[in-house]
Every structure is written in C-alpha cells, then in structure tokens.
Amino acid sequence: MSRQRGFSLLEVLIAMFVLLVGLLALAGLQVRTLSQTRDTEIRSLVALQAESLAEAMRANPLRQRDANGATVLSWEHYVESGYASHDASAPASSCREAAGCSQQNLAALDLWTFKSGLASGLAAGNAVQAAVCRGSAAPSQDDPGCSGSGPLSIRVVWSSRLDGKSRQALVDSGQRAATASSPLAENRYVLVFEP
C-alpha cells in the first residue's frame, strides 16, 4: 500500500499539466480568432468604402457628346495618377449645401469622403493608401499600379500585423521574401469600376 501514495500524487500532477496545456492552447486559439476577426472587419470596411465610392461615381459621370452627337459618359474627373493626387484636407466647396457645385468639386468631395472613411475606420497601425486609376498591375504601398491603361478601378492597400506562424506560412508559400522579418503584411483590395 505504501507504494501507491506517491503514484496518486503523480497522477494529480500529470492531470494538472494536461489541463494547463489545454488552457494555454485555448487561450492561443482565442487570440488567433480575435486577430482574424479584426482582419475580416478591416477587409469588410475597405470593401464597403470602395463600393460606396463606386456608387457615388455612377451618380456623377461627365456627359460629353461624341462626333455623331451621341452622349458619352466618362469618369475621368475621378482618375488619380497616384496616392497623393488629391489633397488630404476637405475640399473647399462642400457640395452638400452649395447649389453651384461642379462635377469636379463633387468628385473631389467623394474621393475625400472615401479616403477619410478608410483612414478613420482602420487602426493607427494599419497604413492605408487608396487611389482611383486605370491599370492592371497589382497595387502596393509604394505604387498604386496606375499605368493609364486598363480598367478603371478603385485600389486600396493597407498593412496589418502578422504573427510568427502566419509570416512563416507566407514565406513557405513564396508570397513573401524569405528575408522579410517585418511583422506587417500588405493587403490589397481592387474593385474594378463598372458603370
């Protein structure tokens, strides 16, 4: 009988260790779930803001006449050459109260509303860049991929934090350079504008 006293204590210690490992795994799963939920929330915000801008663009086309007298719709007053094409401050003409608001002023207000909505909706650690332009190249934080040809699209790029496992998975899949040690991932959203 004396041999079994130590064995019971060992069983309790093993059970406590197994319980502790299970609780740590559960806590890790919870943290990862919260991170993925935040990423999904940001992606939804970006998609909603881009779709809102697309609707504003559809409501404000430039109407011009071609050589045959037919009306041609254009959205060139929304086109930007890069990320810094439009001023970050609110347009001087509000267009919400002004009766003499031009289509260009309304386009500037739409772009400002879009970009300020993105900036206020994303956390401070998520650097966001956005542009409306023609191009087919994938946008990046440094270059929106505006070549001047290709479909008119709303392009948004933002950064988000990566944990070590996600960063290594991107390296293993070839989507990220093996030497990249940055904890930030570059995310892209491109909405091709169709009137």
Whole-number Å distance between alpha carbons of 92 and 22: 59
Catalogue the E-assigned strands of the chain: 62-65, 71-74, 128-134, 152-161, 184-192
Beta bridge partners of 184: 161
The pLDDT value recorded for residue 45 is: 93
Q: Which of 87, 81, 57, 89 is nearest to 144 (CA)?
A: 81
- The secondary structure element, H or E, covering residue 59 is helix 2-59
Residues 153, 165: Cα–Cα separation, whole Å:
33
Cβ distance 159 to 171 under 8 Å? Answer: no
Determine the longest span between alpha carbons in the chain, in angstroms: 107
3-state helix, strand, coil in the chain (%, to 5): 45, 15, 35
pLDDT tens string 76-129: 999 998 887 666 677 776 676 657 788 888 898 999 999 999 988 887 667 889
Please determine, for residue 167, whether its predicted confidence score (pLDDT) is greater than 60: no
Rounded Cα gap, residues 152 and 78, in angstroms: 10
State pLDDT tens for residues 125-151: 678 899 999 998 999 988 999 988 889
Asked if 186 contacts 157 with a C-beta cutoff of 8 angstroms, the reply is: yes
What does the alpha-carbon distance between residue 132 and residue 79 come to, in Å, rounded to a whole number? 5
Over residues 13-65, the pLDDT tens digits come to: 999 999 999 999 999 888 888 878 888 888 999 999 999 999 999 999 999 88
Looking at residue 185, its amino acid is A
